[in-house]
Amino acid sequence: MYIPRSFAESDRDVLHEFIERHPLGALVTASSEHGLYATHLPLLLDRGRGVFGVLQGHVARANPHHALAASGESALVIFSGPEAYVTPSWYPAKQEHGKVVPTWNYIAMHATGVLRFIDDRDFLMAHLDRLTDRHEASQSHPWAMHDAPLEFLEPLARAVVEIEITSLEGKFKLSQNRSDTDVHGVISGLDSSLSADDHAVANAMRERVRPNTPPR
């Protein structure tokens, strides 16, 4: 991933937190026979294993990914955060000299590592329990695996994909290369939008680029 220095993030804890807040990843593998193949799936992060952690996710039985990639191969997982279009009209610099162009602010992260598939039934069911509990925790009436008949669940299951992370790259492109006045102009413009993503980017800019900017 192309990452100019001003947008780079390499702090492992920050990147781990980003994965946990945005767990839907795009798992990408490549082979000379099958080319590129991608699966979008929620992933659990085990921070305590390996140098950079281990990702685990469920690959459904109908998904051919487990047949197109082999254990031991390299894999890329792409995580995305909030994103927003930035119009030059929000830059005070537009009035000063006009040397501005449109851009896009966004947060993205790449995790690369070694892939393996685990099709042990008990391991698979335990993973699905953890995955469900993680994302049902905020519900007023959480759903649990035992709420569905086992004979219904087992035909849907196939394998757990596990990626031991060997490198993490984070790109937080949030106008760090602009002046204070331009940054405040972008935050103000995003705040005026009706888009939830625009508001999320504005808040990320407050936290990361201009921490002393008052909340909306």
Structure-token pair, residue 6 = 């001003």
* Segment 47-58, tens digit of pLDDT: 999 899 999 998
The answer as to whether 192 is a domain residue is: no
Residue 202 lies in a domain: no
Q: Is residue 144 part of a domain?
A: no
pLDDT level of residue 5 (50, 70, 90 thresholds): very high
Weakest-pLDDT range from 17-26, 96-105, 111-120, 168-177: 96-105
Average pLDDT over residues 83-89: 95
Please determine, for residue 86, whether its predicted confidence score (pLDDT) is greater than 80. yes
Q: How many domains does the chain have?
A: 1
- Across the chain, what does the average pLDDT equal? 88
Residue position matching structure tokens 């060997």:
166
In a domain, 44, yes or no: yes
Output 92 or 10, whichever has higher pLDDT: 10
For residue 142, is pLDDT > 60? yes
CA dihedral 171, 136, 129, 159 (to 10 degrees): -50
42 pLDDT more than 90: yes
Backbone angles phi, psi at 66, to 5 degrees: -70, -15
Domain carrying residue 169 = 5-82+105-119+158-177
How many Å apart are CA 182 and CA 167, to the nearest integer?
Answer: 33
Check which CATH number belongs to the domain holding 40 and give it: 2.30.110.10
User: Is 165 contained in some domain?
Assistant: yes
Quick check: 77 and 38 in contact, CB under 8 A? no
E strand or H helix at 206:
helix 196-208
Residue 20, domain member (yes or no): yes
